[in-house]
Structure 1
Amino acid sequence: MTDPRRPLRVAMLSVHTSPLDQPGTGDAGGMNVYVTGLARALAREGATVEIFTRRTSGAQPDVVPLADGVCVRHVSAGPFEGLDKNDLPGQLCAFTAGVLRTEAWREAGWYDVVHAHYWLSGQAGWLAADRWDVPLVATMHTLARVKNAALAPGDTPEPAGRAIGEEQVVDAADALVASTAQEARELTSLYGAAPERVHVVEPGVDLDVFRPALVSTDGLDRAAAAALVDADRRSRRAALGLPPDRPLVLFAGRVQLLKAPDVLVRALGVLRDHERLVPTLLVLGGASGRATAVRELQALAAQLGVEDRVVVRAPVPADELAAHMRAADVVAVPSHSESFGLVAAEAQAAGTPVVAAAVGGLPTVLDDGATGVLVADHSAWTWAEAIGDLLDDPERRAALREAGLAASPRFGWDRAAKEMLAVYADARSVRSARARARG
């Protein structure tokens, strides 16, 4: 039983990617943002959170403070470097042993709940939760069967072993956390999850970082206000070393087939061929999966004659990402699969219209035609029309901006943390009931 007189202690597991890593390259992405944002918010609610992740460098200290009440623990499991995500199942035994050793030198009953992120963490968390007799909560983030059903042309399917491992975690977890109702349905229909153990908790956005530019439009009609905002965006582009008088479309994420930045490059080619205005496409991201991914994207731009319109830069920290969003006319999220779509939610909060693929959780983030634009397919023609038409219509962009800003407060991390604490409490009840049923 948890002592109500002390803070809740959460062992949070993130095996394959550290919350200290910069999102946007390698295996670091939205999950890193999720783990960090949730852990900080749980600590603000009074919990103590320890995040266990695999050590990837001998220089990493054993423990790194992340915020008041939150630390990151590096666990040695296999070679520090040279392993990708597909190599990690063979290191789960070593990782789990490292997690268990951390608890072993403390008093019994130290942790109150294990919260595992992604299926690899779920496998380790399953053993830790059983050893400590505490509930296992699992957030899957992505699902193999969902990703394989929406593969980009030429992409590699997720291995069968992953789907089997996911099934095991789904069965073992006392609570499963889905980011959207769509993901909850996928857990029940594709993995046989018990509906009463699936909880929908929408991820959050750091609303102190992702906020609109401070441009006063009081007393102005929509057209005049839109012109003032566009002028502010031009000055921000100039400060970032980008062409100020050319519209800017921003893609922020890993450069890989799943995230589909190639769709945007092909859309620029369509705009060029039809003699429409071709914006600058700024890609903030690094290669993921294939080391040559960035060079391949640049080669595609050259092949289509739009190499002078495509700028690729390394991913940036959250405050700089927000600054780039405020400089952009449109943020594009063309992914083939997204369990939620944090970039879309962050862009809305920063006051930038979003054009996104109508996949996964993105229709939850965006209300098509009201707070954003959803694109039904991944055709370069469709995307060219969606982006081109929006860039040609400043008043429509202004309307999307206003509606998006009005909707963005629902995605605060503090709200998500309160809901997650309720999930933890429910998971304790489920674990107790399952133990009684076993006799």
Structure 2
Amino acid sequence: MWGMRVAMISLHTSPLEQPGVGDAGGMNVYVLNMARQLARRGVTVDVFTRATRPSQGEVVEVEQRLRVINVVAGPYEGLAKEELPTQLAAFAGGILEYVRCHYLAYDAIHSHYWLSGQVGWLLRDLWEIPLVHTAHTLAAVKNAHLSAGDTPESEARRICEQQLVDNADLLVVNTEEELADMVRHYDAGSAKIRIVPPGADTELFTPGAESERSTERSRRQLGIPLHSKVVAFVGRLQEFKGPQVLLRAVAELFERDPHRNLRVVICGGASGSSSAPDTYPELARELGVQRRVRFLDPRPPEELVAVYQAADIVAVPSYNESFGLVAMEAQATGTPVVAARVGGLPIAVEDGVTGLLVDGHGATAWADALATVLDDDPLRIEMGERAVTHAATFSWAASAGRLAEVFDEAVALDLPDCHQRRAEG
């Protein structure tokens, strides 16, 4: 593994972008942390992404053996994610030009999301090296879990994903459920699927030296009343992530008890066709809870810690999550999680131990679950303590170690016959 060179492809979003803004989210966190940990294991990683502003520069040296290469493909701004397929050829051409001009050679390609996978598939055949692909989300699964108002993923995307399932040398998924989804919806052969659970930065996300003082300090920093109960939501503001589920549940809690001392913090930016900057503040006003809800702009991990520490509960009401990085980060800080029982969240959250899992997205069920944890101080404290222990079993270093094994396995695979004949020729 030491000395291996890997080309990571993350076309539609750079790992250096702020999570919670636009299309930046858990995948950004995943790519950046995996790449960092691989680099620290001796793997040289180049992450190719599409340039979105000229000030980025062509190459960003992140740390030793890790850099991000910004490839010009289409206009810097004003290109929606739905329009990015028009730039696949330009993006692939930009990578080829950079590699040719700098005399680079890679041992493996790791593509992230279907757009990058299409480029990786082409480069795999040109460079005659293995392609490892991570889908992160799948069109068929998203369409099966659409929330009201969401636009279905296109059939074109599903076809492209099917091609990648059929042609990638190895497929990496987060959980057993994701493996099952890939087999069920895409007829994938399980023999070439590898499970690599994501991690959390357990050195950054901690309860703090003294948990109570950390909570008080974080609340003062964020301007949150010290003696309120606090529920936080962290993530992109779109229907699929479910902030509307939390707001409706909170409205029901206040209907039950108008004097409940509860505050809600929603940290994230508008994302997707179903969301605009004022969508959720307007919903809070319609529900009559606007005075109890505070909206925060997305923030880097070093500042996000304070949001988790200030909360009594972190809510993850998504309609699907391949794993649930927010849930894991929250637990690492000692904050219990109330999450939807979907996707990989039942793995990220131990139901009844580090938080609660909720069936469905109805306001009543969510209000009941939130009240159960908010109103039982001993239970909430115990869940928080167990959450730290649970999160400690997930680290990016361990995840990268498993991914490194996948790369080793991919490199050791027999070349396809056509590649073998070229090599022998």
TM-score band (shorter)? over 0.9
> Residue deviations 1:375-414, cap 9 Å, x none?
0110011111111121111111111112211111221111
Q: 1:361 corresponds to which residue?
A: 344
1:193 paired with 2:175, answer no
Query: Counterpart amino acid of 2:405?
Result: A
1:175 paired with 2:167, answer no
Shifted more, 422-431 versus 149-158: the winner is 422-431
Decide whether the 8 Å contact of 2:234 with 2:266 is kept in 1: yes
- 2: CA distance, partners of 1:20 / 1:431: 35
Q: 2:286 corresponds to which residue?
A: 303
Q: 1:401 corresponds to which residue?
A: 384
Count of matched residue pairs: 421
Decide whether the 8 Å contact of 1:280 with 1:310 is kept in 2: yes
Query: Counterpart amino acid of 1:319?
Result: E
1:268 paired with 2:250, answer yes
Decide whether the 8 Å contact of 1:233 with 1:329 is kept in 2: no
Decide whether the 8 Å contact of 2:39 with 2:45 is kept in 1: yes
Change (3 A) 1:348 1:438: farther
Q: 1:224 corresponds to which residue?
A: none
Decide whether the 8 Å contact of 2:128 with 2:419 is kept in 1: no
Change (3 A) 1:30 1:434: farther
- 2: CA distance, partners of 1:232 / 1:11: 40
Written as runs of structure 1 = structure 2, the 5 A alignment for 1:27-38 is 27-38=23-34
> Residue deviations 1:233-272, cap 9 Å, x none?
2443123211222111110000000001011111111011
Decide whether the 8 Å contact of 1:213 with 1:351 is kept in 2: no
CA shift for structure 1 position 432: 2.3
Q: Which of 147, 151, 154 in structure 2 is aligned with 1:156?
A: 151
- 2: CA distance, partners of 1:359 / 1:434: 41
Q: Alignment partner of 2:254: what SS?
A: helix
Q: Which of 210, 213, 219 in structure 2 is aligned with 1:237?
A: 219
1:26 paired with 2:9, answer no
Q: How large is the Cα RMSD of the aligned pairs?
A: 1.7
TM-score (norm 1): 0.92
Query: Counterpart amino acid of 1:23?
Result: P
Shifted more, 259-268 versus 240-249: the winner is 240-249
Q: Alignment partner of 2:160: what SS?
A: helix
Q: Alignment partner of 2:330: what SS?
A: helix
1:287 paired with 2:270, answer yes
Change (3 A) 1:326 1:43: same
Q: 1:136 corresponds to which residue?
A: 131
Change (3 A) 1:82 1:291: farther
TM-score (norm 2): 0.95
Q: 2:70 corresponds to which residue?
A: 74
1:329 paired with 2:317, answer no
Decide whether the 8 Å contact of 2:238 with 2:275 is kept in 1: no
Over the matched positions of the two proteins, sequence identity in percent amounts to 46
Decide whether the 8 Å contact of 1:155 with 1:257 is kept in 2: yes
Change (3 A) 1:333 1:22: same
Query: Counterpart amino acid of 2:50?
Result: R
- 1: CA distance, partners of 2:341 / 2:83: 32
CA shift for structure 1 position 140: 0.4
Change (3 A) 1:292 1:159: closer
Question: Structure 1 residue runs of 4+, over 4 Å off?
Answer: 229-232, 433-439
Q: 2:83 corresponds to which residue?
A: 87
Query: Counterpart amino acid of 2:108?
Result: V
Query: Counterpart amino acid of 1:369?
Result: G
- 2: CA distance, partners of 1:167 / 1:319: 38
Q: Alignment partner of 1:411: what SS?
A: coil
Q: Alignment partner of 1:52: what SS?
A: strand
Q: Alignment partner of 2:37: what SS?
A: helix
- 2: CA distance, partners of 1:434 / 1:148: 37
CA shift for structure 1 position 353: 0.5
Decide whether the 8 Å contact of 1:11 with 1:111 is kept in 2: yes
Q: Alignment partner of 1:258: what SS?
A: helix
Gaps of 5+ in 2: none
